[in-house]
Amino acid sequence: MATDQFKYNSVMLIDDNEIDNLINQKMIESASLSKHIFSHTGAKSAIEFLRNVEKVKDSTMLPDMIFLDIDMPLMDGFQFLEEFEKLTEKTKKHCRIVMLTSSINPQDVNRAKKYPYVQLYLNKPLTSDNLENLKKA
């Protein structure tokens, strides 16, 4: 596939449920949304990945979009967002964040809206309609 078919160079999935990550990865692949897909089963490893990318100063490794679950052990989605805020301006401007969660709690929705880097709040699972809308955005 030619690179110009893809909307994004890379996306990152952050969800402690490996099956959700696999399903979402397959959906992203079938929609040709991204050339590369990084998958993390924990927010801690994902934030470490982003910090390491900043250290090596290789912005080509930064994901264009991050799909972030809320309810995870060790570090939840909101704790990830707090750590994300501490990253460089370049990283924060580059990465669009989509909350992808099973939470329909209005408090979570409103809390997510307070973060300037959160572009969208979607309920699991990813759908082809969601992905088509993201390709157009």
**What does each C-alpha distance from 133 to 37, 62, 110, 129, 136 come to in angstroms?**
18, 22, 21, 6, 5
Positive or negative, the CA dihedral 75, 81, 87, 90 is: positive
- Per residue in 101-127, pLDDT (tens digit) is 999 999 999 999 999 999 999 999 899
Low-confidence ranges of the chain (pLDDT < 50): 1-3
What is the model's pLDDT at position 82? 97
Domains assigned to the chain? 3-136 (3.40.50.2300)
What is the model's pLDDT at position 4? 54
Q: pTM (2 decimals)?
A: 0.93
